[in-house]
Amino acid sequence: MLIGKLHAFTSSRLAVIDLDATVQAAALSLSRPGIGLVVVCNAGGGAEGVLSKSDLVRHLTGPGSKTPPVSDLMNRSIVSCSPQDDVHDVWQTMAARSLQNIPVIDVGARPLGILDIRDAMKVLFEQEEMQERMLFNYVAGVGYR
């Protein structure tokens, strides 16, 4: 299954903030239920980086200024996927890199959503169950004469 077919899941988890947003604005976005990652965008709407709850907590508990813009805290090395990517491939990337969330980015670098690893696993389990039922029905001759 392609990531684009999960738009209902991914779009509901999308949180976007500006490069010059405050730490407080990022915290407010991250405090919403189901939001674990915000995409930091430039004025044109292109993704410039990401900021996770973990990044924010690390900053707030560490030394230094507590009021920098999110552009100082964000991770500029974005690990992302596109709507054309396969869920299984994206899940493997997430598992290999220990990522809970991954942004879905279009060809223009605009964020479309956030894929949560639990949603990816749910889809993969549902696909496995369907394949198992189809194989069972085939072997049992259900629907065949």
Domain ranges of the chain: 3-117
CATH T-level topology, domain 3-117: CBS-domain (3.10.580)
The token pair at 97 is 């890199």
Helix axes 23-30, 53-61, angle to 10 degrees: 140
Give tens-digit pLDDT for 113-139.
Answer: 999 999 999 999 888 877 777 777 777
User: Which residues fall within 8 angstroms of residue 103, CB to CB, at 6 or more apart?
Assistant: 37, 39, 47, 50, 78, 80, 81, 111, 113, 114, 115
Q: What is the pLDDT of residue 47?
A: 97
C-alpha distances (whole Å) from 53 to each of 35, 59, 88, 107, 136 are: 9, 10, 25, 26, 43
Which 3 state secondary structure label does DSSP give 42?
Answer: coil
Asked which of 1-5, 25-29, 67-71, 89-93 is least confident by mean pLDDT, the reply is 67-71
pLDDT of 144 = 60
Summarize pLDDT for 4-31 with one digit per residue, the tens.
999 998 999 999 999 999 999 999 999 9
Model-wide pTM > 0.75 = yes
